[in-house]
Structure 1
Amino acid sequence: MSKFKKFVVYWLPVAVWLFVISAASGDQKSFQHSSRIIGPIVHWLFPQMPQEQVEEVVFYVRKSAHMTEFGVLALLCWRALRQPKRGERKPWSRPEARKSMLLVLVFASADELHQCFVPSRQGSPWDVLIDCSGGALALLLLWLLGRRLKWW
């Protein structure tokens, strides 16, 4: 496979996903936008829930979305570093998983730094931790699935 094709197949999805994450983190009124969607759904499901609890649910849904975003990023980075060939069975590689997590840490830190320069947003080291937790959880689930299905 040519270098260009390897880039397109393995690293372009990583780049596209990073663009999606960056676009979402550049949203100046991100909390208000997601609250307008998630809040009414929570009110519909639980009409008696006080507004304070609705806001708490919105907060946890947003943090779960962060974990999911960076979980997907970890899996894409792992795949790009691994570069599997069709039908090939490679054993699990801790160095690939560690490198994937390092990339997630770098990108999560850059994302939070970027948010420091967006009006109405603020970067937080806690969010970096949440993002990295999402990456680690995704890789753990992949490892468990691979063991269960005897991929490695």
Structure 2
Amino acid sequence: MKEIKSTFDKRKVVNWILLILWMIIIFAMSNQPAVVSDKQSGLVITTLTNLGIDMNGIFGELANFIVRKTAHFLEYMILGILILNVLEIHYTRQKIRLLGVLLVFLYASSDEIHQLFVQGRQGAFRDVVIDTLGGTFGIFVISKLKVLRLKK
């Protein structure tokens, strides 16, 4: 019985550490001036072009916008999954999805407020919506996969 509790405690600590580290990564990325952030988006577009996906050819001036918003969605999808993993330890299954989405929304909101104080950046409610959709997607996909795994 002690071995099970020890494994549970380790899992709990690891889940919390991963969540906090990911939140720090999001904060650090949001803390970069607009010039740095634009260079990163440009690097992604260049990499995709080198792989045969010509984002500029397909989307023109929208390429940078699409890359940036996709990054928002994906980073918050990961955040949603990590939040779900932490919440599963503390709450019943019925509460965790809604609470997870709420926490993603609150963190996304605080992230956009933070960007108001970063050189060349601005907070945008549109980004809060994209972030929340990403987190919601991650939470619900993982929840469904876990339910399917339990049925087997």
TM-score category (smaller protein): 0.7 to 0.9
Contact kept? 2:18, 2:82, Cα under 8 Å: yes
Match of 2:19 in 1: 14
Equivalent AA in structure 2 for residue 131 of structure 1: D
Contact kept? 1:43, 1:54, Cα under 8 Å: no
Instruction: Please state whether the residue corresponding to 2:61 is helix, strand or coil.
Output: helix
Contact kept? 1:78, 1:97, Cα under 8 Å: yes
Deviation at 1:57, TM superposition (A): 1.9
The CA RMSD measured in Å over matched residues stands at 3.0
Deviation at 1:13, TM superposition (A): 1.4
Q: In the alignment, which of 43, 64, 68 is matched to residue 70 of structure 2? A: 64
Contact kept? 2:76, 2:135, Cα under 8 Å: yes
Contact kept? 1:104, 1:135, Cα under 8 Å: yes
Deviation at 1:6, TM superposition (A): 6.8
When normalised by structure 2's length, the TM-score is 0.79
Contact kept? 1:10, 1:80, Cα under 8 Å: yes
Runs of 4+ in 1 over 4 A off after TM superposition: 4-7, 46-50
Deviation at 1:47, TM superposition (A): 6.3
Q: Determine which structure has the larger helix proportion and give its number.
A: 2
For structure 1, list consecutive stretches of 5 or more residues without a partner in the other structure: 85-91
Deviation at 1:81, TM superposition (A): 1.2
Matching of residues 13-52 of structure 1 within 5 Å: 13-28=18-33, 29-44=35-50, 45=52, 49-50=56-57
Deviation at 1:150, TM superposition (A): 3.6
Equivalent AA in structure 1 for residue 141 of structure 2: L
When normalised by structure 1's length, the TM-score is 0.79
User: Is the deviation greater in 9-18 or in 99-108?
Assistant: 9-18
Counterpart CA distance in 1 for 2:15 and 2:56 is 45
Counterpart CA distance in 2 for 1:151 and 1:53 is 43
Deviation at 1:138, TM superposition (A): 0.9
For structure 2, list consecutive stretches of 5 or more residues without a partner in the other structure: none
User: Is the deviation greater in 114-123 or in 54-63?
Assistant: 54-63
